[in-house]
Amino acid sequence: MEFVRVKEDCDNLWAVKDPIKEEDELTSLFTKWNDLNYLFDFFIANIDDLKKYFNIKKISSAITDTVDDARELEKLIIECSGEEPLDTVFKPLGSNDDYKYALARGKARNWDNKRHPSWLRIYAIRIERNIYVITGGAIKLTPKMQNRNHTMLELKKLDDCKDFLKKNGVFDTDSFNDLLNE
Amino acid sequence: MEKSKSIKFLEAHQAKEKSKFVENACKRQDEQVWLNWSQSIALSIMDYMLENNISRSDLANMLGMSHQYVSEILSGKANFSLKSIASISHKLHLDGLINNDALREVPLITFTDEERKWLQDRINVLSEICHTQYVCDELLVARENPAPYNNHNEQERHLELGVLQKLKLLLM
């Protein structure tokens, strides 16, 4: 498993890079979210979820929402990988992912999306305070990641990265101990 | 400040290639205006396909175009000529394609005095080339290959980029 810095001069935000793929996980995510061919096929395949959970019937509306939301989320990631604390953007994935535990799984989304709750997700492992490794992302239309194959795959990628980091003894013990004593 | 153990580990496992996330994001921001137009047209065609139960293959046949070009059109990144838009509109009987709201909202393109001066200075340098199209092509090439317009002045670079973007839109 390899990693890339999301921004050149920033140590806080990284992304997984599979050596056999052209793009790292974060770059690939936004390439897909701006490819209308991909979005068209995705929403046709998941039209039932779109109607059931978001009451959206028109594919073109879903695509427009996605592209607009992706634009905002992209700006948020670029801004937050500098001075803004990442811990305010990435939140624990679930109730078992409390940040008091080492290598917690986290998710980011556009928390202020006005039209409807954002369905775009970026997933990451929190290595220590304000340091994250992005493992992937998804268009999440269902309440639980376990409900669909494409979100299940993202869960696996999160766990694979966490296992890799754990196996290599990666978390900052001093920071972790400080966290426990807070 | 000494780097944490985690950062040192990530650096030790850093890929040779750098992330293109920021570069791609900036490109999308720079090209947002024409991308919005292209996406708008793609979405109109997608609505048409769904309403009439037409596949990509059917669409390619109706338009007399290759599957590859249809894919490009539907990606929302096709740089259409007005002629292409008119042709698609005519073949699909889609009058709404060219009377698109996104196109109507595009503001009139004007140059500031500073931009005009910048442009005139460069046209004077390239004065042997008479045709505006060639002048603009030269300027666009110069933008991609910084010399001889290479400079480290952020303000001038910003001015240069703004002028060239407007020229691109005018030439579309």
Kindly determine whether residue A27 and residue B17, on different chains, have CB atoms separated by under 8 Å.
no
Position B126 pLDDT exceeds 70: no
The two three-digit tokens of residue A21, written as one number? 């793929």
Give the model confidence (pLDDT) of A101-153 as tens digits: 677 888 888 877 667 788 999 999 998 888 899 999 999 999 989 889 999 99
To the nearest whole Å, the CA of B90 is away from the closest chain A CA by 21
Q: Which residue has the higher pLDDT, B110 or B69?
A: B69
In this prediction, residue A8 has a pLDDT band, given cuts at 50, 70 and 90, of: confident
**pLDDT on residue B130:** 47
Position B106 pLDDT exceeds 90: no
At A98, the amino acid letter reads D
Q: How many residues does chain A have?
A: 182
Position B108 pLDDT exceeds 80: no
To the nearest whole Å, the CA of A106 is away from the closest chain B CA by 17
DSSP E strand boundaries for A20-156: 90-92, 104-108, 120-128, 131-139
Q: What is the DSSP string of A5-50?
A: ESSTT-SSEEEEE-TTSSS-HHHHHHHHHT-HHHHHHHHHHTHHHH
**pLDDT on residue A60:** 93
Kindly state whether B8 is in contact with chain A, defined as any CB-CB distance less than 8 angstroms: no
Q: Which residue has the higher pLDDT, B51 or B150?
A: B51
Q: Identify all chain A residues contacting B39, using CB atoms and an 8 Å cutoff.
A: 36, 64, 67
Kindly determine whether residue A40 and residue B74, on different chains, have CB atoms separated by under 8 Å.
yes
- Please say whether the beta carbons of A53 and A143 come within 8 A: yes
Average pLDDT over residues A41-49: 95
The two three-digit tokens of residue A35, written as one number? 């490819």
**How many Cβ contacts (< 8 angstroms) between chains A and B?**
104
**pLDDT on residue A176:** 47
In this prediction, residue A83 has a pLDDT band, given cuts at 50, 70 and 90, of: low
Cis peptide, bond prior to residue B148, ω within 30 of zero: yes
Maximum separation of any 2 CA atoms in chain A, in Å = 52
Closest-CA residue in chain B for A37?
Answer: B75
**pLDDT on residue B103:** 45
Kindly determine whether residue B18 and residue A8, on different chains, have CB atoms separated by under 8 Å.
yes
ipTM over 0.85: yes
**pLDDT on residue A179:** 43
Cis peptide, bond prior to residue A143, ω within 30 of zero: no
Q: Identify all chain B residues contacting A17, using CB atoms and an 8 Å cutoff.
A: 15, 17, 19
Kindly state whether B57 is in contact with chain A, defined as any CB-CB distance less than 8 angstroms: no
To the nearest whole Å, the CA of B119 is away from the closest chain A CA by 31
Closest-CA residue in chain B for A13?
Answer: B7
Name the residue with tokens 């929302």: B76
For residues B170 and B106, give the distance between their C-alpha atoms in angstroms, rounded to a whole number: 12
Chain B, 71 to 130: residues with Cβ < 8 Å from chain A are: 71, 74-77
**pLDDT on residue A178:** 47
Position A172 pLDDT exceeds 70: no
Average pLDDT over residues B50-77: 92
To the nearest whole Å, the CA of A21 is away from the closest chain B CA by 11
Lowest mean pLDDT among A68-77, B63-72, B151-160: B151-160
Task: Classify the C-alpha dihedral A115-A120-A125-A127 as positive or negative.
Answer: negative
Q: Identify all chain A residues contacting B47, using CB atoms and an 8 Å cutoff.
A: 58-60
| Residue A100: CA count within 13 A, CB half-sphere | 5
Q: Which of B22, B46, B75 sits opposite A78 (nearest CB)?
A: B22
